[in-house]
Amino acid sequence: MTEDPRSRRLKSIQLAIWAGSAAILMAVAGALVWRATTPDPAPQVAFVGEADIRSEFTLTDHTGRAVTDADYAGDWQLVFFGFTNCPDICPTTLAYMASVLDELGPRAEDVAPLFITVDPARDTVPVMAEYVAAFHPRLVGLTGTEAQVAEAAENFRTWYERVEDETAPDGYMMAHQGYMYLMRPDGGFEAVFQEQEQPPEELAETILGHIEDEKGAT
């Protein structure tokens, strides 16, 4: 209380502005250098490093079967990373994915909906089985060892981390990205979506559009 809190706040705001400006400047400079050194303009990079995103994993599905990405090769995949102790984003997104599948109707056969847990310690096979069944009969729950889940997340370039929280069950939560990845039948990246961005029928139509484009191209 000896220092004037307002001037202190002002200082920290100034600092934040400086840091922000510096970051923007560096980003702009970086983009310019990148542009200058890239021979052809890359086909609209909407998501940093999206070309690196690969559906590659060795996990166990909710029926206890050992699976890899090869088991879903030939299918489009809609993939979400979450955990069953997550009361908000995960059920919201999985319920949304279920609606998207319903909207796809018979075309849902072309899309494998995969829910990969980032909390394999608690999300065992029986837990995943009961959990996914509540959302959609076609939803596949995938778990594994900590190392297997970490590897899958790395291939999807997705991040998660354990956050200590004494108000949470077992004293922790998982921070994770709430993205749904649309992956191509060859395991390559196609698009990324978030639940709040559009109603399920719109996403279903978008997904059908991607599938049709692919058919038209081949």
Partner 1 sequence: MKLPILALLATALPLAAHADVTVSDPWVRASILASRPAAAYLTLVSDGDDRLLEASTPVAAEVTVHATEVDEAGLSRMNHVPTVELPAAEAVTFAPGAMHLMLTGLSEKLVEGTSFPLTLRFETAGEVTVDVPVLGVGASGPEGGQR
Identify the residue among 24, 35, 159, 186 touching partner 1 (CB under 8 A).
Answer: 159
Site string for partner 1, 85-124 (x = CB under 8 A): xxxxx-xx--xx-xx-------------------------
Question: Binder to partner 1 among 176, 183, 204, 211 (CB under 8 A)?
Answer: 176
User: Could you say whether residue 150 binds partner 1 (CB under 8 A)?
Assistant: no
Tell me if 175 contacts partner 1 by CB under 8 A.
yes
Is position 45 an interface residue for partner 1 (rule: CB under 8 A)? no
Q: Which helix (H) or strand (E) holds 208?
A: helix 200-217
The DSSP line for 27-52 is HHHHHHHHHHH-SS--S---STTGGG
The region of 29-37, 68-76, 143-151, 161-169 touching partner 1 under the rule CB under 8 A is 161-169
Q: Measured between alpha carbons, how far is 161 from 62 in angstroms, rounded to an integer?
A: 23
Say how far apart CA 121 and CA 128 lie, in whole Å.
12
Distance CA 105, CA 191 (A): 21
By CB under 8 A, tell whether 198 contacts partner 1.
Answer: no
Is the distance from CB of 111 to CB of 148 less than 8 angstroms? no
Please name the helix (run of DSSP H) or strand (run of DSSP E) that holds residue 15, with its range, or none. helix 5-37
Work out whether 134 is an interface residue with partner 1 (CB under 8 A).
yes
Task: Please name which of 40, 47, 63, 11 lies closest in space to residue 156, comparing C-alpha atoms.
Answer: 47
Nearest residue to 139 via CA among 118, 161, 114, 159: 114
Q: Please identify, among the stretches 6-14, 35-43, 144-152, 170-178, the one whose residues bind partner 1 according to the rule CB under 8 A.
A: 170-178
Query: Nearest distance from residue 30's CB to partner 1, in Å?
Result: 16
**Number of residues counted as binding partner 1 (CB under 8 A):** 33
Q: Note the residues at the interface with partner 1 (CB under 8 A).
A: 84-89, 91-92, 95-96, 98-99, 127, 130-131, 134-135, 159-161, 163, 165, 167-169, 173, 175-179, 195-196
